[in-house]
A and B are shown apart, each in its own frame.
Chain A
């Protein structure tokens, strides 16, 4: 089955800096790659997603890039703010099954 590896497991940045979280997947047939943000005590929420026919997608301060050849995709957050502090999960979907990465705890220091 699909295997999704996510790095780093923890990331600490200063407010205003950029943050990058990377994921690799194993199944070349995967075609949908969402990113979820989980705040403390809450369930995960979708923040951005990308499909395999697109290389990059941007939504204000967040962007996702996909390299199908290398089977990796990344989340980029620019101008980080304290409210960006959360756990971020990447995921890959193939044939109706969504496999999540292990999660990254992002801490943004004021």
Chain B
């Protein structure tokens, strides 16, 4: 039971570079999410997806792009990384969505932008 996996777990990049964080889930959950975790801010929603080819903005979407061509994958791309995007990124999935459904989180991807 692989669950939800993120890659890479650690990434160091430079300002202006493009970075893609991968997320893969094996449960066939309809909903997938990307959060960033920063000290003092808790978890903030970047983007979410209710199904393949359906995505929507969360609380902090600027500077990020997502796609969902397959139900099991939900990559997050930083098109031109900035230092303010240094953070720990969590992918999550859910059967029922945000309304009343449990979120299952991956182990996180720690991104450092120099």
| A102 x B41 contact (CB < 8 A) | yes
Known contacts A43-B105, A43-B106: A89-B100 contact under CB 8 Å? no
How many pairs, one residue from A and one from B, have CB atoms within 8 Å of each other in the complex? 53
Residues of B at the A interface (CB closer than 8 Å) are 35, 40-45, 58-59, 90, 92, 97-100, 102-103, 105-108
**Number of A residues with CB within 8 Å of any CB on chain B:** 25
Q: What residue of chain B has the Cβ atom nearest to residue A97's Cβ?
A: B98
Say whether A73 faces chain B, with CB atoms less than 8 Å apart. no
Q: B interface, by DSSP: helix, strand, loop or mixed?
A: loop
Question: Closest CB of chain B to A66's CB: distance in Å?
Answer: 14
Say whether A6 faces chain B, with CB atoms less than 8 Å apart. yes
Q: What residue of chain B has the Cβ atom nearest to residue A51's Cβ?
A: B100
Residues of A at the B interface (CB closer than 8 Å) are 1, 4, 6, 32, 34, 36, 41-46, 49, 51, 89, 93, 95-103
Known contacts A51-B100, A96-B98: A45-B42 contact under CB 8 Å? no
